[in-house]
Amino acid sequence: MWLKKQIPNFITLLNLLCGCIAVIFAVQGNLKLAALFVMIGIGFDFFDGLAARVLNAQSDLGLQLDSLADMVTSGVAPGIVMYQLLSQVFGKPFYVTPGSWDMNQIIASFDWSYISLLGLLITLASAYRLAKFNIDTRQTSSFIGLPTPANTLLIISLPLILQFQPESWVTEIILGKWFLILLTLLSCYLLNAEIPLFALKFKTWGFKENKVRYLFLLFSVVLIAVLKFIAIPLIILLYILVSMIFKTGEAKIN
């Protein structure tokens, strides 16, 4: 019985492990591998909750552990990724040779641009959201504000688009100074905005009661098949718009 209840926690720790690896790659400037481990971590984040429901192993420990893991995978990692992107535009990126932690090299390599450090606002906003989520009784079956994993997918999609779909017009937009700054500020706002959003948690599998969820997932798959990584920001935008238009979020805002 005790071992069964620890299975979701073990999956959560795998999320945390992936987040730690993603942070290492992000600090080294390898945003492609950072994005890969973030996505794997978010996958574990989905399955730990699923495992907890299937095994009837929900616990207060699991709730706190989940937020701590998300803080790394969906808080620290995307903040560093955005810092690196801003550094490509406003100054040299921070890069430490793997295995070398010489302080002189670190100081010389670090870009102290205040503008680049704006990327870390995503980490701060994520921490605030996760802390608020843990004590907000309105978010048991839906969300208020953009969930940190969704926000993280939005951020990590940018280096993937630059790497695998480097069309000139796309690169010009993503590496535009105002685009990155405004996206950072918008990201921080959406994380903590009082906007009800539906959760992709199925209480039943019937189509009628989950029509919006099924159609959203189907349309998302089509977008990814057609647009690849460019589809990710569009899917996040669609997620917000669908929730607002159809009022599918079940949380009640006082």
9: left (phi over 0), alpha (psi -120 to 50) or beta: alpha
N-term to C-term CA, the chain: 40
Interhelix angle for 31-54 vs 2-27, to 10°? 170
pLDDT bin (cut points 50, 70, 90) of residue 254 is very low
Distance CA 95, CA 91 (A): 12
- Residue identified by tokens 């574990």 is 44
Q: Is the pLDDT of residue 223 over 70?
A: yes
pLDDT bin (cut points 50, 70, 90) of residue 97 is low
Inter-CA distances, 165 with 34, 113, 172, Å: 17, 28, 12
Q: Is the pLDDT of residue 145 over 70?
A: yes
pLDDT bin (cut points 50, 70, 90) of residue 61 is confident
Strand partners, 196: 144
Least confident stretch, 4-8, 175-179, 198-202, 230-234: 198-202
Q: Which residues contact 231 (CB under 8 A, 6 or more apart)?
A: 220, 223, 224
pLDDT bin (cut points 50, 70, 90) of residue 252 is very low
Q: Is the pLDDT of residue 36 over 70?
A: yes
pLDDT bin (cut points 50, 70, 90) of residue 70 is very high
Distance CA 252, CA 254 (A): 6
Distance CA 200, CA 75 (A): 21
Q: What is the mean pLDDT of residues 111-118?
A: 76
Q: Which residues contact 59 (CB under 8 A, 6 or more apart)?
A: 5, 52
Distance CA 240, CA 197 (A): 7
Least confident stretch, 12-21, 48-57, 107-116, 165-174: 107-116
User: What does the mean pLDDT of the chain come to?
Assistant: 86
Contact 85, 180 (CB under 8 A): yes
Q: What is the mean pLDDT of residues 192-208?
A: 78
Q: What is the mean pLDDT of residues 199-225?
A: 81
Model pLDDT, residue 135: 86
Q: Go through the domains of the chain in sequence order and give each one's CATH number.
A: 2-96+104-195 (1.20.120.1760)
Backbone angles phi, psi at 226, to 5 degrees: -90, -45
- Of 68 and 108, more confident: 68
Query: Which of 2-6, 95-99, 109-113, 172-176 tops mean pLDDT?
Result: 172-176
Strand partners, 143: 197
Q: Is the pLDDT of residue 132 over 70?
A: yes
Helix (H) or strand (E) holding 197: strand 196-198
Torsion of CA 87, 89, 90, 94, to 10 degrees: 20
pLDDT bin (cut points 50, 70, 90) of residue 107 is low
Model pLDDT, residue 148: 96
pLDDT bin (cut points 50, 70, 90) of residue 103 is low
Percent of the chain with pLDDT over 90: 57
- Residue identified by tokens 């591998």 is 33
